[in-house]
Structure 1
Amino acid sequence: MKNVRELDRSDYEEQKKVICVGFPWNTKESIDARLRSLCEHSYSFGSFEDEKLASQIIATPYTIDFHNALIPMAGIGFVATLPEFQRQGRIDDVMELLLEKMNEENMVLSYLAPFSYRFYQKFGYEKIFDMIEYSGKIEALPSKKGEDLVCMEMTWEEARPYLRKIAREDPLIEYGQIVREPWWEEYKFHLRKDYTFVICFKDKMPVGYMAYLVKDGIVDVFEIKNKGEEVLLALLDVLKDLEYKEFKFLETEGQSELYRLLDDRPENLLVRVLPGMMARIINVEKFLKMYPFQSSIEFALEITSDRFAPWNTGLYEIHGNKVKRVHETNLITAKMSEGELAKLLFGRLLLIEGRNKIEVKNGTYARMVGMLEKAIVMDPVLFADYF
């Protein structure tokens, strides 16, 4: 008989088995320390067939800095179902309970990296940013050795305090990045893979870092953070001193100056735009109250339906960040789905093209567009991932 419940420590070994089947590049031995750390800081739900775990999902609470608004976000990961239990609606059942749990835990947003965008759209998730993938010959990368910059290779324990300091001082953190906690730094960098860390110093002060590993003769750059173009060029110069000839690197556009530096698309380099992560509003009312509106705004919002989070359905009056539910309103009203609202508030819905997706009452569409264009944050989300 099929049933769904929250998992606890007694379910860990079965949970690990399901995850290793769903993500077969992991072994139970290689993933154990990392998965234990994640589970200790997360909540998990599973679908059972009698006593056998068939499907599971992990949700991890984080905080993101969204234009100086600190917003609770639950990151979804390791969604997996054993092959013999697939196509039975088990993930639907788990997601329904998990969304209720996230709302009870005061999560306001949820992110995930999908295997299928269409699959997760039915749960209310929408794509909120794209990724840029660079690959090709290392010799084609721009680089420059700054006379006052020194790059040093370090172990994780040596590099850790510098990574923390540089990340906390990153001016781009407010563009939707995670507020890093010590356990997550360990999970993200040390327990994930055997990275090499390079710290860049200027006048003995850390001003940038790069984490990379070598796989199949290709340098896979995991993350770069830098204070200024000259620091980025110095870090890229380190790659040219390696014995390897090819590299790859994935980031969101704007996380570094690399996309701008490669604007002329030099030979031997491939730059591709790839779809990025998806987001969902867990609690519309709380998000509206926390949202960093860029100008004073008064309007009403009607969420027409939200199958997996029905508490969001209804009519809201917004006066700046003062939000209240109402039964009727005289304010100009935008009527839309929760998914369209997520795209709107993350700057992904072009208002000029949204006429077929947003119904306006008590006013004209042109007037609503004029108000929202001044108030909505249009800067891109510079989020990598939380895995």
Structure 2
Amino acid sequence: MVDYRPIPDERDVFHEYRSYAFRPESGVPAYDPDEHEGPRGSLGSRRGLYATEAADDANPRCVCRHYWLESRVRGDTHRTAGLASVATPPEYRRRGHVRQLLAHSLAEYRDHDVRFSVLWPFRYRFYRQYGWDTTNRVVTHECEPAALSFATEAMDTVGADRTAFRRLEADDYDRIEAAYETHLERYGLALERDETWWRHRVFAGGDRDPFVYAYERDGRVEGYLVYTIDGEMGDRTLSVSELVVTDHDALLALLSFCHDHDSQVQRVRLRVPEDVPVREIARDPDEIDTEVTDGPMVRIVDVGETLSHLSYPDREANLTIAVEDSLTDWNDGTFRLEVADGRGECNPVTADESDIRLGIGALSQLVVGAQSATDLERTGRLEATDSTAVEALSTLFPEVETYHGDRY
């Protein structure tokens, strides 16, 4: 028997487990409440899984942290849980504790009317077996500053009197919210940010705070970037973790800003969504090294509730969908989805046949827009009785640009 519960007191144990899992090279960590319980470190809710029969061993078997968030999915805001810091010390591994921790976490999310769970995996195969799957890819471009000189040349035509770059502090977060709203409208599963998140996750870092600079045109913020400068003199990299723009000229301006650091840094690293056209507009794309990696993973918490609270295209549909979910019994079964006037109702049904059959991970990707029904069928992750069912599903859940870039 196990007991899943909050961790109010054993915060030193939580810190020890997390450090061993993600930073073992640092050795045995010293727990300092003043350092590790600041505003950034205190965000989220700690949870632990305890063995109720082991009275002589009160330590949790594994731990995690839940961030209570909201994200934008198909034009609407939905409650989303960020799952992080899943850690098990070596003496308790390979006993199924993480599986139980994940199942209990999803049950808690369901009790809180959370629609989606998002996590950054240490290994994709591990979490895919429990129903999470990839939300988006992350593109990282790296080059010498000179490779971005084309942007500076393009910006020379705009007029220096109309543009400005301003360094922002945490108190200025509201100045870039309008630009970020453009990002929210563009990308599915993008995170809605409140003041606390802006102050302690965007403007604050784990070991050091990043720089945040806004680009203004005619007195209005049209873009910004969040970055650090890493390395020693002679081998420095300007590393951009977030680049947000409202239009093409703003993209050129921020790339020019990076180019202007050519006297300080030897490399520029840009972490951006797939559709940001850095290579397409570069004069010398062969001077840019580009790497594409998988980003976070997403999972629907409750199929019936989530599909009943989405917005849909203005068309009528009636589909039976068989969902396979080995971790939650409330999702493992067949559902009837009825859509009319842009709203849907999804309920479990007893049926021997279904129009669509797929796993919870594939359904999660379909719902947030990361994969189309056609692609899921083509890759063998969705089975349909006929092409009409796939066409209906494609209309209800059109593929969209997705990007969840916040880390936790």
The normalised TM-score by structure 2 is 0.84
Residue 13 of structure 1 pairs with residue 12 of structure 2: yes
User: Is 1:210 matched up with 2:233?
Assistant: no
Q: CA deviation at 1:281?
A: 0.8
Which stretch shifts more, 227-236 or 138-147?
138-147
User: What is residue 337 of structure 1 aligned with on the other side?
Assistant: 359
| Equivalent position of 1:373 in the other structure | 394
Q: Deviations over 1:339-382 (max 9, x none)?
A: 2222332341552661644343xxx4211122222221211212
Superposed displacement of residue 123, structure 1: 1.1
Cα deviation for residue 278 of structure 1 reads 0.9
Cα 1:194/1:278, change in 2 over 3 Å: same
CA gap of 1:143–1:157, structure 2 versus 1, over 3 A, is same
TM-score by length of 1: 0.88
**Could you tell me which amino acid in structure 1 is paired with residue 185 of structure 2?**
L
Equivalent residue pairs, number: 378
Does residue 135 (structure 1) correspond to residue 142 (structure 2)? The answer is yes
1:299 is aligned to 2:318: yes
- SS of equivalent residue, structure 2 residue 240: strand
Cα shift at 1:185:
1.1
* Aligned-residue identity in percent: 17
Q: 1:116 aligns with which of 106, 117, 123?
A: 123
Q: Which moved more, 1:20-29 or 1:156-165?
A: 20-29
- The residue type equivalent to 1:212 in the other structure is Y
**Partner residue of 2:304?**
285
What's 1:322 paired with? 345
How much has 1:161 moved relative to structure 2? 2.5
**Which secondary structure does the structure 2 equivalent of 1:238 belong to?**
helix
Distance (Å, rounded) in 1 between the aligned partners of 2:281 and 2:168: 29
SS in 1 for 2:215: strand
**Take 1:31 and 1:178, find their aligned partners in 2: how far apart are those partners?**
24
Q: Separation in 2 of the partners of 1:326 and 1:317?
A: 6
* 1:84 Cα offset (Å): 2.8
Q: Deviations over 1:47-92 (max 9, x none)?
A: 4572123421112121111121211111111111223322232211
The root-mean-square deviation of aligned C-alpha atoms, in Å, is 2.6
Answer yes or no: is 1:36 the counterpart of 2:41.
yes
**Unaligned regions of 5+ residues in structure 2, if any?**
none
In the alignment, does 2:214 pair up with 1:199? yes
Aligned positions of 1:127-276 closer than 5 A? 127-141=134-148, 142-144=150-152, 145=155, 146-147=158-159, 148-157=161-170, 159-170=172-183, 172=185, 175-192=188-205, 193-216=208-231, 217-242=236-261, 243-254=264-275, 256-258=276-278, 260-262=280-282, 266-276=285-295
CA contact (8 A) 1:34 1:191 kept: no
One-letter code aligned to 2:173: R
1:286 Cα shift? 1.4
Q: Which amino acid aligns with 2:364?
A: A
Instruction: Flag the 1:159–1:236 CA change in 2: closer, same or farther, 3 A.
Output: farther
Letter in 2 for 1:46: L
Distance across 2 between alignment mates of 1:44 and 1:54: 11
